[in-house]
Amino acid sequence: MVPITHWHPDVIAFLLMVQGLYLVAVEPLRKQFSWADHFDRRRAVLFTCGLLVIALAEGTALHDLSEHFLFSAHMIQHMLIILVAAPLLLAGMPPWLLRPVTTLGFMQPVMRCVTNPIVAGAIFNVVLMAMHVPPIYELALHIHWTHIVQHMILLIASLLFWWPMLSPLPEFPAMSSGGQLLYLFVVKFPQIPLGAFLTFSQVPWYATYVNAPRVWQFVTPVQDQQMAGLIMSVPMSFILFGAMAAIFFVWFGQAEKEEVKVRGR
């Protein structure tokens, strides 16, 4: 049994390296880049917070709980990556740092395709669904590096998911407020059956968690699975509908300002 107090210094070291490269690029090296623009230090705070969330999900005992004991812990990892880390990392990227890579000749058509809202939403939902297919999921539990690869794929898919709302690049712009509302409303629908199946199923899907030592004796594998379904459904619904409300009120406020300007002419 892997002790659940175990930390992962390799993950922490990798994230510290990423943080160091980011800080070097946005401060000392920025002055050497002819294409670099002003850097808002608030972006560094957001990016750092995103890395801290990944460190919590992947570098602490939460990772061992998810890999060896509790499906609900695994779902907490997924929600941290999707709902917290991905938007923070995207909001923390200065446009001039991304532009040299994303505007390369072969990358432009790729970026134009994958940041299209229909494609981005489809990629995100396909990745999310596929990762919970029992054989694929069990593979991640038994071969450690596949678990890491799957979470890297999930992070990339999550960045694409948030791109139509938080795009840092005008070359691949965010959608209009109305488009963002429709996008969030539509993208949420494919996730509903997965959350419902997990929450209401009376049969455990994953053999690893059935055979795992019980961290909490009063929680059965089915109850653990049902908790995972709720962890997926409730926070995601809360954050996505909260984002929709925020977008609507900003949109409404902008419309009111425009109306006042028109009347003042």
DSSP of 156-208 = HHHHHHHHHHH---TTSPPPPHHHHHHHHHHHHTTHHHHHHHHHH-SS---HH
Better-predicted residue by pLDDT, 261 or 127: 127
User: Which of the four pLDDT bands, split at 50, 70 and 90, describes residue 46?
Assistant: very high
User: Which of the four pLDDT bands, split at 50, 70 and 90, describes residue 2?
Assistant: very low
| pTM of full prediction above 0.95 | no
Please enumerate in sequence order all residues whose Cβ is within 8 A of that of 231, keeping only pairs 6 or more positions apart, or say none.
72, 75, 76, 79
4 has pLDDT over 80: no
Q: pLDDT value at position 247?
A: 86
At 105-144, the pLDDT tens digits run 788 899 999 999 999 999 999 999 999 999 999 988 888 7
CA 235 remoteness from chain centre:
13
Q: What is the token pair recorded at 94?
A: 């200065």
Would residue 91 be called left, alpha or beta, if left means φ above 0 and alpha means ψ between -120 and 50 degrees?
A: alpha
Q: What is the token pair recorded at 104?
A: 């390369």
124 burial type by CB count under 10 A (0-12 exposed, 13-18 middle, 19+ buried): buried
Q: Under a CB-based contact definition with an 8 Å cutoff, are residues 186 and 121 in contact? A: yes
